[in-house]
């Protein structure tokens, strides 16, 4: 017995010795590599947007008149271009300024899409040329060059080495940064850049809302009270479709399947969507936006939300399969359309993703101006974050509420299901849900007709009735 105890003590000492060695190895610190600001996630790198370029309208000319003037001046005709083999211009190409045919055009950059007219000396790209408009650098007046084409915009760059903008930025670099610039120029933004958006989208268009074709709910078998019960259990309390059907069957004695619950909530969402999207919310100047994630058909989609932090009203919402500038432009346009007149110093608060700055740049090109402030990270490392963090926290608080109700859905089979779910959630949040921050028992959007109803199912039924009347008024108008 004593030998066994002695053996166990030695075994424990040996294990303690090995444990000390492991702890020493784990606590050894290797020297950290110095990281540059560009080593952060590209989604949160600080994008720099330059002022808009100078626009020069090119004068439309006639190549026949220019050829005749050349003949009178030089006493000989202007000969067409002799194209070499493998370096010809497509026959359908014409000069956008004077209309010269392809046999008077040079291949100006080795079959890469740029041409030069021999008659009027205009360089252009065909067929993507912005006809009769030239972009000039606002600092040196040099013509901008199209260097890249993205899905939603084209990038133009000033390549003039004597541009004051480029020389000033180059002068500000330290000696160490200049060495890095020699080997990796893409890590620095020194030259003037302009983004020309190619989106087929006109902002602030007061178009009529999309009305559902079959908006009449009188043909459904459920009464208005039962419809209100379904919405109360499914939307307000966040119960799943099957849980809603079970409580209707076991508590209220109503035989209703989860498919019926799904169809009823989807029909209501289509009906009330125009009403809640185009309601006059009278937004304040404390507006914040963010995006969150949902699963649609097994893939992640993005939900863009914008809230009025003063009144707690959701002003705009969209579901998009991509996280791109087009989606940000559309959701911001939905917010701007809520203003009767856009305030001069309107500020919108978002996270650090650069797509919102690009959206601001898109609107600035169309003479629609507002400020964008970005709250980056979880700590107040800069003055902007310290000032606008409360607005961002309000948006994050709603995201948590949305996630709690979304979690039981386990995603959606199609985008229509996700939009219907989001529409009902926004309707409940704006018109039916009391908010302590707004006032005891008060809702963000106070409608007396809804407040007069005795209970929540009756308020849902009244909201559906108001949405029906809104659509009838639009159709009669």
Structural domains of the chain sorted by starting position, each given as residue range(s) with its CATH number in brackets: 275-476 (3.30.420.10)
Distances, alpha carbon 271 to alpha carbons 244, 259, 304, in Å:
21, 19, 21
Residues in the chain: 477
**Distance (Å, whole) CA 433 – CA 14:** 64
The two three-digit tokens of residue 326, written as one number: 């087009």
**Distance (Å, whole) CA 69 – CA 115:** 23
Mean pLDDT of 125-141: 72
pTM of the model: 0.73
Vertex 204, ends 199 and 205: CA angle to 5°? Answer: 85
- Residue 50, pLDDT above cutoff 60: yes
pLDDT value of residue 150: 82
CB 464 within 8 A of CB 428: no
Distance of CA 291 to the CA centre of its chain: 8
Distance of CA 365 to the CA centre of its chain: 17
Reported as a single tens digit per residue, the pLDDT across 222-271 is 688 899 999 999 999 989 999 999 999 999 998 889 999 999 999 999 99
**Distance (Å, whole) CA 47 – CA 189:** 9
Reported as a single tens digit per residue, the pLDDT across 319-363 is 999 888 899 999 999 999 999 899 888 999 998 888 899 999 999
């Amino acid at each position: 017995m004593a030998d066994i105890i002695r053996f166990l003590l030695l075994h424990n000492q040996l294990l303690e010795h090995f444990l000390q060695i492991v702890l020493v190895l784990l606590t050894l610190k290797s020297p950290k590599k110095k990281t540059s600001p560009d080593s952060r996630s590209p989604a949160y790198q600080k994008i720099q947007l330059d002022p808009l370029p100078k626009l020069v309208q090119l004068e439309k000319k006639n190549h026949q008149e220019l050829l005749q003037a050349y003949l009178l001046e030089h006493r000989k005709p202007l000969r067409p271009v002799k194209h070499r083999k493998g370096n010809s211009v497509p026959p359908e190409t014409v000069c956008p300024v004077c209309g010269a045919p392809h046999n008077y055009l040079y291949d100006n950059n080795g079959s890469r899409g740029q041409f030069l007219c021999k008659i009027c000396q205009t360089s252009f790209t065909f067929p993507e040329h912005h006809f009769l408009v030239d972009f000039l650098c606002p600092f040196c007046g040099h013509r901008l060059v199209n260097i890249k084409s993205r899905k939603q915009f084209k990038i133009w760059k000033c390549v003039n080495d004597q541009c004051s903008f480029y020389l000033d930025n180059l002068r500000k670099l330290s000696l160490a940064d200049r060495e890095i610039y020699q080997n990796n120029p893409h890590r620095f933004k020194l030259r003037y850049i302009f983004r020309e958006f190619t989106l087929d989208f006109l902002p602030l268009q007061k178009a009529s809302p999309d009305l559902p074709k079959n908006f009449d709910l009188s043909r459904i078998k459920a009464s208005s009270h039962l419809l209100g019960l379904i919405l109360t259990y499914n939307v307000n309390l966040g119960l799943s479709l099957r849980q809603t059907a079970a409580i209707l069957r076991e508590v209220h004695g109503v035989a209703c399947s989860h498919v019926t619950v799904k169809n009823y909530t989807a029909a209501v969402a289509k009906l009330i969507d125009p009403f809640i999207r185009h309601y006059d919310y009278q937004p304040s100047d404390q507006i914040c936006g963010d995006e969150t994630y949902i699963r649609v058909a097994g893939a992640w989609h993005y939900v863009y939300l914008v809230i009025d932090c003063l009144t707690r009203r959701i002003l705009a919402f969209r579901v998009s399969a991509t996280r791109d500038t087009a989606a940000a432009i559309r959701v911001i346009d939905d917010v701007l359309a809520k203003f009767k007149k856009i305030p001069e110093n309107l500020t919108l608060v978002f996270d650090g993703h650069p797509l919102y700055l690009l959206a601001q740049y898109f609107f600035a090109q169309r003479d629609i101006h507002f400020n964008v402030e970005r709250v980056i990270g979880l700590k107040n490392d800069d003055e902007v974050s310290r000032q606008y963090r409360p607005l961002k926290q309000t948006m994050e608080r709603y995201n948590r509420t949305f996630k709690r109700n979304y979690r039981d859905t386990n995603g959606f089979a199609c985008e229509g299901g996700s939009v219907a779910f989001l529409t009902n959630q926004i309707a409940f949040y704006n018109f039916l849900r009391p908010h302590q921050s707004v006032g005891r028992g008060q809702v963000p959007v106070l409608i007396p007709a809804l407040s007069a109803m005795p209970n929540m199912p009756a308020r849902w039924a009244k909201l559906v009735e108001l949405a029906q009347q809104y659509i009838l008024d639009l159709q009669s108008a």
